[in-house]
């Protein structure tokens, strides 16, 4: 448990660098938005291509289909818990009810797990996290949007799935399919095979260099965002309830589900890590865009990320993860 705590603490050390930069006004909100766009348009897609193509075969990804499905189910559990909490807290302001359900639904399912899993399981773990995001992305743009808006589910919501990271995942599948044809190409056209192999190797090497920036850049941006968050709701009873739902009840229900499903140990452990995550950093801009309570969302991001320093090591210790 101490080892997991120290690894999470190391991540927060990088958060602190971004926090200090923002507090000293070295960077502003415009820079953070632009830096986030660079992360999502270059570094993260490069990591996706490099890790999926190098670490998996097409057959192995097909065998691991339960991983994104399981990660999506964890988000669905959060959506159901958020709905139950809203029924019990009908006296809350309407915008806060919608925001709370979104916060229960959408966890930090990508960057924080990437940072933690990379320190625990290395590049293989990174690749598994990247593949698992397929499920949460689908839930985010369907149930997540329904939660934050209060509207009914609509097919038009699926248009939001067309993003650069999702396109990178699709391209990785295409490259893996082409990779299966390389042995036959080597027999028929050895010169062409050699050229294709060199070009592919160069592309993946470039993606590897760019992808290495994903984790430190994501952590730095997280720290920058935390520095500009309002503490207005931080120490309220409502925040305590939401934190308990997100970091205790949802992981507990997810653990019960994961114990029931026939999963490989590697998949079960990774899904548990995803289930223990705090609320998503993107909750604040999502609350602003869809007229939720952005102050409450900002406080939830900060408080759940602080509280998870204690809860994540406890959950992982119960699961026997990171004990060695």
Tell me the pLDDT tens digit for each residue of 79-111: 999 999 999 998 999 999 999 999 999 999 987
Q: Residue 257: in which H helix or E strand, if any? A: helix 250-260
What is the number of other CB atoms lying within 10 angstroms of the CB of residue 182?
A: 12
Sign of CA dihedral 218, 223, 225, 226: positive
Fold of 2-318: Na+/H+ antiporter like fold (1.20.1530)
In sequence order, the β-bridge partners of residue 279 are 107
Q: What is the pTM of this model?
A: 0.82
Cβ-Cβ contacts under 8 Å for 152 (sequence gap 6 or more): 146
Per-residue CA distances from 84 to 70, 130, 248 (Å): 21, 30, 15
Sign of CA dihedral 292, 156, 86, 318: negative
Q: What is the pLDDT of residue 58?
A: 87
Mean pLDDT of 12-21: 87
Cβ atoms of 222 and 18 within 8 Å: the answer is yes
pLDDT band at 157 (very low <50, low <70, confident <90, very high): low
């Amino acid at each position: 448990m101490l080892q997991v705590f120290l690894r999470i603490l190391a991540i927060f050390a990088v958060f602190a660098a971004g926090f200090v930069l923002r507090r000293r006004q070295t960077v502003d909100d415009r820079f953070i938005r632009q830096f986030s766009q660079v992360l999502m348009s270059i570094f993260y897609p490069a990591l996706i291509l490099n890790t999926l193509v190098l670490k998996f075969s097409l057959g192995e990804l097909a065998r691991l289909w339960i991983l994104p499905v399981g990660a999506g189910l964890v988000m669905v559990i959060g959506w159901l818990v958020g709905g139950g909490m809203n029924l019990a807290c009908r006296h809350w302001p309407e915008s806060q009810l919608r925001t709370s359900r979104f916060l229960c639904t959408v966890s930090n399912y990508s960057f924080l797990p990437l940072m933690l899993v990379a320190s625990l399981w290395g590049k293989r773990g990174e690749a598994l996290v990247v593949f698992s995001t397929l499920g949460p992305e689908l839930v985010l743009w369907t149930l997540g949007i329904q939660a934050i808006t209060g509207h009914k589910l609509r097919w038009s919501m699926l248009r939001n799935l067309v993003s650069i990271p999702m396109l990178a995942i699709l391209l990785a599948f295409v490259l893996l399919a082409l990779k299966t044809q390389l042995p036959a190409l080597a027999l028929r056209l050895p010169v062409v095979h050699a050229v294709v192999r060199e070009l592919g190797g160069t592309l993946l090497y470039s993606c590897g260099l760019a992808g290495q920036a994903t984790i430190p850049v994501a952590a730095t941006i997280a720290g920058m965002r935390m520095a500009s968050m309002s503490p207005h709701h931080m120490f309220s009873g409502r925040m305590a309830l939401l934190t308990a739902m997100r970091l205790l009840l949802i992981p507990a229900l997810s653990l019960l589900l994961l114990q029931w499903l026939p999963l490989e140990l590697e998949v079960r452990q990774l899904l548990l890590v995803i289930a223990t995550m705090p609320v998503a950093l993107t909750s604040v801009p999502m609350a602003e865009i869809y007229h939720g309570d952005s102050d409450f969302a900002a406080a939830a991001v900060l408080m759940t990320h602080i509280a998870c320093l204690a809860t994540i090591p406890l959950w992982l210790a119960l699961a026997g993860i990171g004990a060695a």
